[in-house]
């Protein structure tokens, strides 16, 4: 590509925004055009992100101002419920950048591409409005998808995330003192990622999330009841076939550890354990909630949207 692709980021102060800035700065084709943050308005980006050496400053841009920036790509890294005003401003201005929304706001909208490339790559062509999957939802789908046609009854998923998943706004779920020596359950029924995965897989999923004292990384344990008996070799073959050509998904024999995935761009799936009758399977998946669960996946989707190799700028 002969020209640099301009990219704007709204919600640049958050953990995911910081990770995406690092990826864009190192990318051979994208360049940061603006970074918007209310709290850091006027501050130098380089003072907060050491990988950035340019002169950009954070700006507090409202939706109309964002729509007028004329960027090629726009990433919305905002809390749930805040994306619609920016999308409406783009429509009003007849601006048509590629938009990647990292919140849950458009994950249930058929007009947006649901950007989990490993499962939905075939329907991505020409997508300009992309809804990035949730971090837990990505881990759940990678654990369940290879056997979705054999599932009987709801699949139960027990998830544990590092506290970066709770964002930067102060709460019990990201308070290191309250989390120390603790495991904090929350939203034990009807979590948005439960509904998201149920919709995407077309099968009921029951999800129980928890927050742990570590900063980053998800461990997701999926319990599946199966319509027929499987043996372990058949299960392994299913997963290895499903992800054989996926550079960001590794299928392991043993159960993956969250400590090994922190700071890495991919996901690991393993620990395949069957009941004696072969009709109950437990699978463990791990990923970094800030990377494959958010920023890395956003970059996969951006690369595809601009006809670039999907893993360009992603160290696999």
- List residues with catalytic annotation: 135
**How far is 206 from 191, CA to CA, in rounded Å?**
9
What's the half-sphere exposure (Cβ side, CA atoms, 13 Å) at 227?
6
- Residue-wise burial string across 76-86, b where 16 or more C-beta atoms lie within 10 A, e elsewhere: bbbeeeebeeb
List C-alpha distances in Å: 16 to 10, 50, 202, 241: 11, 16, 29, 31
- Are residues 282 and 271 in contact, defined by beta-carbon separation less than 8 angstroms? yes
Q: In what order do the strands lie in the sheet with 280-287?
A: 184-185, 205-211, 155-161, 218-225, 280-287, 267-274, 249-251
Helix ranges (DSSP H) in the chain: 15-26, 45-48, 63-67, 83-92, 117-120, 135-144, 176-179, 192-201, 232-243, 258-261, 296-305
- Are residues 96 and 128 in contact, defined by beta-carbon separation less than 8 angstroms? yes
């Amino acid at each position: 590509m002969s020209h640099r692709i301009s990219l704007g980021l709204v919600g640049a102060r958050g953990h995911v925004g910081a990770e995406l800035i690092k990826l864009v700065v190192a990318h051979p084709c994208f360049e940061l055009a603006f970074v918007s943050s209310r709290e850091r308005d006027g501050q130098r980006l380089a003072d907060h992100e050491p990988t950035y050496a340019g002169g950009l400053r954070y700006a507090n841009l409202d939706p109309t101002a964002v729509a007028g920036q004329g960027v090629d790509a726009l990433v919305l890294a905002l809390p749930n419920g805040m994306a619609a005003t920016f999308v409406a401003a783009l429509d009003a201005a007849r601006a048509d950048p590629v938009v990647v929304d990292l919140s849950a706001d458009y994950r249930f909208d058929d007009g947006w591409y649901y950007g989990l490339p490993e499962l939905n790559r075939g329907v991505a062509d020409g997508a300009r409005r992309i809804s990035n999957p949730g971090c837990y939802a990505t881990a759940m789908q990678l654990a369940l998808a290879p056997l979705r046609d054999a599932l009987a009854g709801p699949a139960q998923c027990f998830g544990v995330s590092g506290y970066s998943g709770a964002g930067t706004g102060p709460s019990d779920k990201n308070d290191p003192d309250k989390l120390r020596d603790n495991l904090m359950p929350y939203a034990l029924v009807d979590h948005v990622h439960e509904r998201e995965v149920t919709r995407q897989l077309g099968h009921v999923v029951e999800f129980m999330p928890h927050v742990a004292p570590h900063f980053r990384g998800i461990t997701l344990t999926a319990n599946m009841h199966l319509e027929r008996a499987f043996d372990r070799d058949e299960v392994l073959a299913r997963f290895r076939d499903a992800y054989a050509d996926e550079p960001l998904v590794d299928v392991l024999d043993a159960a993956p550890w969250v400590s090994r995935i922190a700071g890495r761009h991919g996901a690991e799936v393993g620990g395949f354990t069957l009941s004696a009758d072969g009709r109950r399977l437990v699978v463990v998946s791990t990923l970094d909630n800030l990377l494959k669960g958010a920023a890395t996946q956003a970059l996969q989707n951006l690369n595809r949207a601009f006809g670039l190799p999907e893993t360009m700028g992603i160290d696999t």
